[in-house]
Amino acid sequence: MKPTPDPQTPDPQTPDPQTPVLSVRGLSVRFRMRGGRHIAAVSDACFDLAAGECLALVGESGCGKSVLASALLGLLPGNAQTEGSAVLGDGTDLLTADERTLARTVRGRRIGLVPQSPAAHLTPVRTVRAQLEETLRELTGIRKPALRAAAEQAAARAAFPAGHLDRYPHELSGGLAQRAATALALIGDAPLLLADEPTTGLDRDLVERTVDELRRHTDGGRALLIITHDLAAAERIADRVAVMYAGRIVELAEADRFFGEPGPRHPYARGLLDALPERAFAPIPGMPPELGALPDGCAFAARCSRADDRCSAPPPFDGHLACHHGVRAGTEESAHA
């Protein structure tokens, strides 16, 4: 825990470079449905996240990436069953910690959440200043009269203009609402920031500004897990990219190799990039399978031009790739050729 709060210090505690800020192993989330059905929303996710690093978790809506985020925050609904572990740098396992621990010591303090729709996340009937002050009181113990200055400093850290502090959320533009939400997320000096679709609905220049600001906080020593379907935002901000498909991480790669040369190795990831309007603008044929009725073999097989007999067995994830016929690094060959 942080001892004396000091809102002037922009960086979290000096992290131990040896221990990842977050270490996820074999994380699975299943939902029990009526009639004994199960939905495998997340299967066997494994990744580490270090201080000063940004990992972008990308994939289409319904691929399980938001469920994974909810699992890390302990915000899964009652019918969810989890397996595996998600351990913070201090040893807390997010999957086994009880709600009291999560509420008192994790959310806001160890993990700062930059929410998907900031306007909805902010309390509509209270000004930004009131919300910042309340969170400061709660997380840092600062009291009046220091509170006012502390709120202004907290706002400044997220580039939220002091002149707008007395506004209500509905009086803010999308960009300012996002900054207000980011300011709230930064207050607890959490070593891990989790941003869930932080750029949805924002204009391109605002997307860029938002991710650049998040990147700045990462460069300040935080670890950032950004969950997004916006590949351009991921390319701009991430050090590494994890691609999720039908509940599984199918590729985990360095961002510059993924977006640049030699490009993704997984056929789905290649298809996703090819679909961008600045690239081939060609959709991947078909749709993802239902998470409640996944095939026995590779979940992408029905849409994959490389599928063959081997793909009727599930491809194991080797830490980089889950595919029997991944594109080899250094080949020009396209999965859709």
Partner 1 sequence: MLELTRITAGYDPRDPVVRDASLTIAPGESVGLLGPSGCGKSTLAKVAALLHRPDAGTVVLDGRPVRGWRHGAPRAQRTAVGVVFQQPRLSADPRLSLRELIAQPLRATGRRAEVTDRVAELAPAVGLTAELLNRRPHEVSDGQLQRACLARALVLRPRWLICDEMTAMLDASTTAALVAVVEAYRRESGAGLLAVGHDRVLLERWCDRTVGWQGISGRVATQESMSPTG
Q: The tokens 């207050």 sit on which residue?
A: 187
CB of 278 to partner 1, least distance (A): 5
Query: What would the x/- binding string for partner 1 be over residues 157 to 176, using CB under 8 A?
Result: ----x--x------xxxxxx
Q: Which stretch binds ligand SF4 (CB under 6 A): 108-116, 140-148, 217-225, 302-310?
A: 302-310
For 337, the enclosing helix (H) or strand (E) is: none
311 touches which of partner 1, ligand SF4, none (CB within 5 to 8 A by kind)?
ligand SF4
Cβ-proximal residues to 102 (8 Å cutoff; 6+ apart), any chain: 73, 74, 94
**CB nearer to ligand SF4: pick between 214 and 301:** 301
Chain residues 260-289 in contact with ligand SF4, contact rule CB under 6 A: 267
**CB nearer to partner 1: pick between 147 and 242:** 242
- Site size toward ligand SF4 (CB under 6 A) is 12
CB of 273 to partner 1, least distance (A): 8
CB of 107 to partner 1, least distance (A): 26
* Residue 105, Cβ density class (10 Å: 0-12 exposed, 13-18 middle, ≥19 buried): middle
Residues 111-128, buried b or exposed e (16+ Cβ, 10 A)? bbbbbbbbbebbeeeebb
Nearest-5° Cα angle at 21, 263 to 42: 60
Do residues 40 and 247 make contact, with C-beta atoms less than 8 angstroms apart? yes
**What are the structure tokens assigned to 33, written together?**
């449905």
Q: Is 248 in the site for ligand SF4 (CB under 6 A)?
A: no
Chain residues 192-251 in contact with partner 1, contact rule CB under 8 A: 200-206, 209, 229, 231
CB of 232 to partner 1, least distance (A): 8
**What are the structure tokens assigned to 102, written together?**
């999560």
Candidates 120, 149, 282, 313; binder of partner 1 (CB under 8 A) is 282
* Helices and strands, counts by H and E, the chain: 10, 9
Say how many C-beta atoms besides its own lie within 10 A of residue 316's C-beta.
11
State the residues that interact with ligand SF4 by CB under 6 A: 267, 298, 300-301, 304, 306-307, 311, 315, 323-325
